[in-house]
Amino acid sequence: MLKNKKILVTGGAGYIGSHTVIQLLQAGLSVIVLDNLSNSRSEVIGRISKITGILPKLVVGDIRDRACLQKIFSEYSIDAVIHFAGLKAVGESAVDPLLYYDVNVSGSNILFQEMSRANVKNIVFSSSATVYGDPGFPCYHETTPLNPINVYGRTKLVVENILRDLRAADSAWNIALLRYFNPVGSHNSGMIGEDPLGVPNNLMPYIAQVAVGRREKLMVFGNDYPTPDGTGLRDYIHVEDLSIGHVSALDYLWKNGGLLTLNLGSGCPYSVLEMIDAFQKVSGRNIPFEITNRRPGDLSEYYADPRLAKQLLGWATKHDIYRMCEDTWRWQSNNPSGLTT
């Protein structure tokens, strides 16, 4: 039903966006990527072409640039938008909240205004489990109260609320809000993967860079949590499973319409030490690490209740911790300096 539809993917050259573009192309959809390349590289588009045999159109631009958006919507008959574009570092969001509200909230609002002007009213929004905050229990259902504890999470919740209000005002809008947990892994070709600019903010790319020799050791923030090994437990989801979830959500909207709010996670958390151990087994490399103090705001444990996504989309994660590590290591060992090689 989706075949031959034209999808605008904002942030489509980024980590999750690029993997989703592959899934869209392989499902027979046409893709236009909009990305300002602030935390991504244009080289990924060529890699996508090598994997799929199709070269997606890349427009280098910013979602805050109204003229750029108007040009895209006037030149292409866009059927739907998957919206990844935004800033995502929790620590940075605390240091520069105005930037995060400008990019994540104002940028999204401009995008939605131009979608409305172009009568494009189908959107899948990349939200986050950070909208839940710390509810006092570790398993997050879609009905868990929303009370984010950091600026990044608050920007995601504001955008969710804009979209909910938009749907309430105009039932022609079809919207999926996808709250995902901790994306890891890489495409199984080893050609694209998580390629952060500068020091990684997330665990898995940091482990991979230590394994390949780019960094001396991993800092483990706290080993005194009330968990089996004292380190934090997180719900890691393979990026390929996550990208399939986006295509499934888009297909659901096309068939059913409405407002869809879903967790995308495995429901099976792993600790920091378990991730290190699995990566060492898969890569055959030693991962030196040092225990240091907890980071402010880090929770001891949280994970998704993924049952609603299974019920509505027939979607569930397929790749376990070892597949996550295998694919990450294939990407990092093939590209020790990232896409610059």
Separation between Cα atoms, residue 57 and residue 9, nearest integer Å:
10
15, 132, 152, 303: the active-site residue: 152
3-state secondary structure 11-34: CCCCHHHHHHHHHHHHCCCEEEEE
Separation between Cα atoms, residue 248 and residue 1, nearest integer Å:
12
Active site residue 270: no
Q: How far does Cα 156 stand from its chain's mean position?
A: 12
Kindly write down the DSSP assignment for every residue of 110-123, as one continuous string: HHHHHHHHTT--EE
Nearest to 10 by CA among 156, 118, 129, 112: 112
- Taken in order 280, 286, 290, 295, the sign of the CA dihedral is negative
| Amino acid letter for position 273 | L
What order do you get walking across the sheet with 139-140 strand by strand? 139-140, 301-304, 233-234, 270-271
CA angle 47, 191, 51 (to 5 degrees): 50
213, 337 contact by CB (below 8 A): no
Catalytic residues: 152
